[in-house]
Amino acid sequence: MKNYSIAKSRRLRSTPYTSRIEKQGVTAYTVYNHMLLPAAFGSLEDSYHHLKEHVQIWDVAGERQVEISGKDSAKLVQLMTCRDLSKSKDGRCYYCPILDDEAGIINDPVVLRLNENRWWISIADSDVILFAKGLAIGNKFDVKITEPNVDIMAIQGPKSFKLMEKVFGDKITKLKFFGFDYFDFQGTKHLIAQSGWSKQGGYEIYVENTKSGLDLYDHLFDVGKEFNVKPGCPNLIERIESALLSFGNDMDNEDNPYECGFDKFINIDSDINFLGKEKLKNIKAEGIKKKLMGIKFDTKEISLSGSLDLKDENNNIIGELRSACYSPHFGKVIGIAMIKKPYWEVSQSVKAEINGNICTGNVCDLPFI
């Protein structure tokens, strides 16, 4: 597949870190929430191995925040998600599918409860702010909805814990997974969560003070030398092996949360009010007809730029492949696919045309590992 350079403009927003990562060797961008999101620093496979062993600093400013504040903010946030937030706590993050009235997925953000009247929705790639504003206007909610200047920098990899301890002291080691708190860097407070879009562990720094954030970015590279710190970005191979889903790739508005395996984030039995609740009850009663599953192919190369039909031995279409990569762990191509109900059996054989050749493989459960 031939690649093309991306034409920058005001509409395709840069981040405060862009000039730095360009000096540091970014080689590919994707677009996320109308913003540049680095997609590669040279070989994906080299970055994958480095991420699993050392520590990386990522410019994930494209994970924008939708801030909802005001008297009705908790009501609006709850209206948007099927996850019960009635017992949520300040200083905690919640992975929350956002649904429309048909229970189709709008987004799968991390929701941060700053306090009962102030929330950040840390969004995947869709315009949640417009949806939130529409709901607030239609419901006459007393809320303020903005996209604040918050530019996340992620510190990911097994050595992220030692690196962050070196900068922020012992206190940061007490932070629990999906907890957040404020930490001082040279006199400026930064909101830091133990989270991130890899399964290698790490933190996300929600930078509000750009000047201090850039000083911190540089400082992390300075003091991180002993941990072999490198610039990086969400890694296609690591995230597929870890089955971290990507909105717009693995699922979209045509899919419901049951089909995506989000069962543990769905609360249809409590008395909370959210869009799509009745629809979800029906879906649960009837049962779903497609779901996300893994595929392993007996081939070593793939480059997907859209979805790919999957067929059985009789050429019946059994589903569609939505993301895929070569996995060093399995020594073959693996992928995430939406599979139709009659074909859910693990080890169901599949074939697909990859790079002009018919490749065979098998369906498996998610996560792969």
- Give contact residues for ligand THG (rule: CB under 6 A): 63, 95, 108-110, 122-124, 152, 178, 195-197, 204, 244-245
> Of 97 and 361, which CB lies nearer to ligand THG in the complex structure?
97
The minimum distance between CB 178 and ligand THG, in angstroms, equals 6
The minimum distance between CB 120 and ligand THG, in angstroms, equals 9
Instruction: Give the amino acid at 130.
Output: L
> Of 56 and 299, which CB lies nearer to ligand THG in the complex structure?
56
| Tokens found for residue 146 | 């903005």
The DSSP code for 166 is: H
Instruction: Give the amino acid at 114.
Output: L
> Of 243 and 359, which CB lies nearer to ligand THG in the complex structure?
243
The minimum distance between CB 354 and ligand THG, in angstroms, equals 27
> Of 164 and 354, which CB lies nearer to ligand THG in the complex structure?
164
The DSSP code for 13 is: B
| Tokens found for residue 80 | 């948007």
> Of 37 and 318, which CB lies nearer to ligand THG in the complex structure?
37
> Of 6 and 369, which CB lies nearer to ligand THG in the complex structure?
369
Nearest to 5 by CA among 42, 22, 34, 30: 30
The minimum distance between CB 233 and ligand THG, in angstroms, equals 12
The minimum distance between CB 111 and ligand THG, in angstroms, equals 9
The minimum distance between CB 65 and ligand THG, in angstroms, equals 8
| Tokens found for residue 181 | 């708190």
* 186 neighbors 144 (Cβ within 8 angstroms): no
What residues pair up with 37 in beta bridges, in sequence order?
30
Q: How far apart are CA 318 and CA 309, in angstroms?
A: 8
Q: How far apart are CA 368 and CA 238, in angstroms?
A: 11
How many Å is the Cα radius of gyration of the chain? 21
> Exposed, middle or buried by CB within 10 Å (0-12, 13-18, 19+), for 181?
middle
